[in-house]
Structures are given as structure tokens and as C-alpha cells.
Amino acid sequence: MRVLHLIDSLQVGGAESIALNLVNALADEDLDIHLCATRKEGDLKNNLNNKVKYLFLNRKKTLDLTAFFKLKKYLKQNQIDIIHAHSTSSFIAFMMILMGCNCKVIWHNHTGAYTVLKGIKLWVLKLSSFYFDAIISVNKDLNSWAEKKLTAKNNYYLPNFASLDNQQKITILCGASQKIIVCLAGLRAEKDHLNLLRAFKIVLQELPDWSLHLVGKDYDDLYAQQVKDYIKIEHLMDKVFLLGICSDIKHILSQTTIGVLSSKSEGLPIALLEYGLAKLPVVCTDVGECSSVITHNFSGYMVPPQNPNELAFYLSKLAKSKEDLVRFGENLYLNIKENYSKEKAIKSVIKIYQRCLQTQNI
């Protein structure tokens, strides 16, 4: 079985980390695994299993014929059976089918915001999905949406799994020890950092010695500028730290006291699973599949999205309870180990591959 995974970049992010975790684990199962970064490389490339064969397309635009023909040639030379496309790389997988490649296509949807997709983007995805042999969704809402809106042959719900294997120790967090909150999320509007910043400003009124660290890609756009402007206008520069992309997540989490997500929408965020592996208690908005990971008042606190007062209340409540900090972290760790393990996910993915290869092409 020869499988090529497609991902737009290898910069540190949720979908990118999931793709990397999958190919690394699948390669250890003695499958012939390939990974293709279509647009950009990044720090995650350094963590690639040496058993994984790697291709970089350097795709420059949506209809980049040079990149398309390069990938088509690679698929033919390596006799690829299955293209496993992650998130927005579904389009280039669709183009390979239109160009005559005799491969099965699986689309892996990590993005909760797809449930509100409209217009031309939805139309193109719906057309593409007719040629998908399967869609893997990371939460039940996405799976239900795929069944109703798209036309793939098979739909599967498969929770993410996380891995904290990187042993690098680069980043040193600022602020008082044991009083550090971290948010692992790129600066994108759906992650709603502004909601978190408003909540944290309220927290500081009661707990002025705590700090907040934002870890994730800065897209250098209007939203990112709004986040930076808020930090400056509200005089939070000595309490809120923008770290950008970091590769040593395990080391960062080892220095952290509380993990937080304040998103408007989600799939199944890899950050929650990483918090759990690091035994961090969590405060999280109740969106996407987050409530299947975090049990309120057992492994963390769930709050409504876009409600900074509620978010602030539970961040403060957790911060003031040493007992809950430890208990919630331990409970979350056990949940991740039992229900979001690498071994369980890999068995499921291999079964999906086998079923796809048993069906006839269109």
C-alpha cells in the first residue's frame, strides 16, 4: 500500500501537526508513506520520520500547472495508490484526478469553519467531493455536514491524536513561575484571541502576577494587527507575550500552568490533546468537538464562545485552586491516553485505506 499525504505547508499548526503525526506513525507500520508539502516548508519538516519519502512542490498559485505536472509525475513514478489530502489541499488532489491519475482520494477535514462554507468555495468542494473515495472528519458536526452537503462515497468520523515527541528546549517563558497561561493557536479570527485578551484583562484585576503566552503563526494580516493593537492600547505588553511559531511545544507546556482556547469555531483542536499529554488543566470555549475532550469541572472548564466575562471567571477560579490545577490535569491526561491514542487512530486509518482500495474506481 503506497500512500501520499498532501498538506499545504509544514509550518507549525493544527492540521500540519496532525498530518505529520499521521505520516510518522504510518511509516512505522511498514507502509510506503510519502508526504508532499504543496506551498511552503517549515519547522515541522525537521520532525519527519526518516522512513517517510518527501516532496516539496513550491506551488505559487491556485492553478500552478508546473506544480500539478510535477506531482502527477511523482504519483506515477512511485505508483501511489491513495492520496490523503489534508484541509485545503483537497483541490490539488481533485486536480490530479482530472489529470488522469488513477489514485483513490481521501479528504481529511480538520476545519470546523467549513460547516458555514458558502458560495463558490462550497460549490468547488462539492464538485471535488464527487471524486473523493472517503472523507475523514475530526468531529461529529463536520461528519454530519459532509454527509448532508458533499457527495463522497464514504464518510468517517475520526478524532485527532497528539504527539509530544520533540525534545528541543529553546523557548523560555516570561512571567512568574506557576502562574502562566498558554494559548496554542495561530492568529486567525476563528481562534478569537480578542475574546481571550478581554478575559485576561479582567483576570489581571484579581491576579496581577499572572501572564499569558500566545503561541502560533502570525499571519501578518488585519486580524493579527488588531490583536497586537489591543495589547498595546490596553497596556498589556508586560503580561501578554506573542511567541509566534515555536517547535518546542513540549518544553513550552512544561513551563505552563493552564492551557486555554477561546475559539469561535473548531474541529477537534490538536492543542487540547497536547495540553492533555502535558497534564495541563484547561479552560475552553464550547465549540466543535471540544466538549468530547474536556469534561466541565472534571478535566477543565467549558465556557460559551465570545463571552469574556465567563472565560475570565473560570480562568480565575482555576488559577486560585492548586487542587483543581493538579486534579483536572491528571484527569485530562487519562482521557487523552484512553480515547485519543496514536495506536487507536492508526488502526482506524489503515482500515479506511483498505476499504478504499477494495472499491472500484469511477
For 69-91, the pLDDT digits (tens) are: 999 999 999 999 999 999 989 99
Distance CA 221, CA 189 (A): 10
Residue 360's pLDDT is what?
57
Instruction: Give the three cell numbers for residue 332.
Output: 485530562
The model's confidence at residue 135, banded by pLDDT at 50, 70 and 90, is: very high
For 286-317, the pLDDT digits (tens) are: 998 899 999 999 999 999 999 999 999 999 99
Residue 104's pLDDT is what?
96
Distance CA 187, CA 217 (A): 6
Determine the residue type at 204: L
- CA 362, distance to chain mean position in Å, is 32
Strands, DSSP E only, in the chain?
2-9, 32-40, 53-56, 82-86, 104-109, 134-137, 155-157, 180-184, 211-215, 240-244, 258-261, 282-285, 300-303
Instruction: Give the three cell numbers for residue 18.
Output: 496532525
The model's confidence at residue 228, banded by pLDDT at 50, 70 and 90, is: very high
Residue with cell 479570527: 189
Question: Is the per-residue pLDDT at 269 higher than 60?
Answer: yes
Find, among 336, 326, 186, 185, the residue nearest to 261 by Cα: 185
- Domains, the chain, with CATH or none: 2-161+341-358 (3.40.50.2000), 180-339 (3.40.50.2000)
Distance CA 216, CA 12 (A): 7
Instruction: Give the three cell numbers for residue 193.
Output: 484571541
Kindly write down the DSSP assignment for every residue of 154-188, as one continuous string. -EEE-----------------SSTT-EEEEE--S-
Instruction: Give the three cell numbers for residue 262.
Output: 477561546
User: Quick check: 20 and 44 in contact, CB under 8 A?
Assistant: yes
Residue with cell 471567571: 313
Per DSSP, 296 falls in state B
Mean pLDDT of the chain: 93
Taking residues 155-162, report their average pLDDT.
Answer: 90
Kindly write down the DSSP assignment for every residue of 115-163, as one continuous string. GG--HHHHHHHHHHHTT-SEEEESSHHHHHHHHHH---S-EEE------
Angle of helix 119-129 versus helix 90-98 axis, rounded to 10: 50
Determine the residue type at 84: H
Question: Is the per-residue pLDDT at 362 higher than 70?
Answer: no
| Polymer length in residues for the chain | 362
Determine the residue type at 242: L
Distance CA 69, CA 289 (A): 38
Question: Is the per-residue pLDDT at 157 higher than 50?
Answer: yes
Taking residues 208-227, report their average pLDDT.
Answer: 96
For 12-35, the pLDDT digits (tens) are: 777 888 899 999 999 999 899 999
Taking residues 329-354, report their average pLDDT.
Answer: 93
- 87 C-beta neighbours (distance < 10 Å), count: 21
Residue with cell 477561546: 262
- CA 125, distance to chain mean position in Å, is 20
Taking residues 149-160, report their average pLDDT.
Answer: 92
Distance CA 18, CA 23 (A): 9
Taking the alpha carbons of 312, 314, 320, 324 in that order, is the dihedral positive or negative?
Answer: negative
Distance CA 247, CA 171 (A): 9
Find, among 296, 301, 318, the residue nearest to 203 by Cα: 318
